[in-house]
Amino acid sequence: MEDRREDMELLEKIAEGSRAAFDRFYEKYAPMVYHIALRIVGDEVEAEDVSHDVFLEILQKPHQFDPKRGSVQAFLAVKTKSRSLDRLRKKRDLLVNRLEEAALKEKGAEFDFLRQLEQQVIIDALTHLPEEQRQAIIHFYFHGETQREIAAAMNKPLGSVKSLIRYGLRNLRKQKELFHWMEAGRGEEQHEA
């Protein structure tokens, strides 16, 4: 009972700004708070940080303690457990975020490599097409021109440009199949649609 009365007096004096009362309170409960934090977070530096957070909160909000809800020890134990678990969650979330960022960067690098490789395959394949088919495909797919614009630029009838694009695509697919970049027959229906 004497201990409880002393704790209440210390907390009241802390609320009034007494540094001596805070030092006495800290001296009395710091080992307990540190021990609880260390058991939960499993790291001495982290446990010290949790202890610091708990006592800083006591210094800033000494009236949080409600004697009707239990002892100061129980109050500090609950607060320490809560701050420790918060710290573990933040640490876990930070680790998860870093791992996700690393995975995205790795996937991004893989995607860039595959895109470059695919571009190189397409460029190589285009060089094997007849000149007019190559020009029609470059205008249509790489410059985004309409078939009418291509017909005007190449001075060809619209039907001829459509045929050049269609035959050019077939020739490209055949080359991709020869290079084993596609399973035989896979995707042909997609390109012809």
Which CATH number is 96's domain given?
1.10.1740.10
> Same structural domain for residues 3 and 57?
yes
Answer with the one of 105, 123, 154 that is the final residue of a domain.
105
> Same structural domain for residues 45 and 98?
yes
> Same structural domain for residues 10 and 44?
yes
Does residue 189 sit within a domain? no
Does residue 150 sit within a domain? yes
> Same structural domain for residues 54 and 79?
yes
> Same structural domain for residues 87 and 132?
no
> Same structural domain for residues 130 and 174?
yes
Domain that residue 114 falls in = 110-184
* Residue in the structure block whose two tokens are 């949080």: 64
Mean pLDDT, all residues of the chain: 84
User: What span, in angstroms and rounded, lies between the C-alpha atoms of 153 and 122?
Assistant: 23
Does residue 20 sit within a domain? yes
> Same structural domain for residues 133 and 179?
yes
Indicate the number of domains in the chain.
2
Q: Whole-model pTM?
A: 0.52
Under the banding of pLDDT at 50, 70 and 90, the label for residue 188 is very low
Of residues 113 and 35, more confidently modeled: 35
> Same structural domain for residues 80 and 155?
no
Using one digit for the tens of pLDDT, what is the confidence trace for 116-170? 777 777 777 788 888 899 899 888 877 888 999 999 999 999 999 999 989 988 8
Answer with the one of 105, 127, 142 that is the final residue of a domain.
105
> Same structural domain for residues 15 and 79?
yes
pLDDT tops 60 at residue 102: yes
Q: Are 161 and 150 in contact (CB under 8 A)?
A: yes
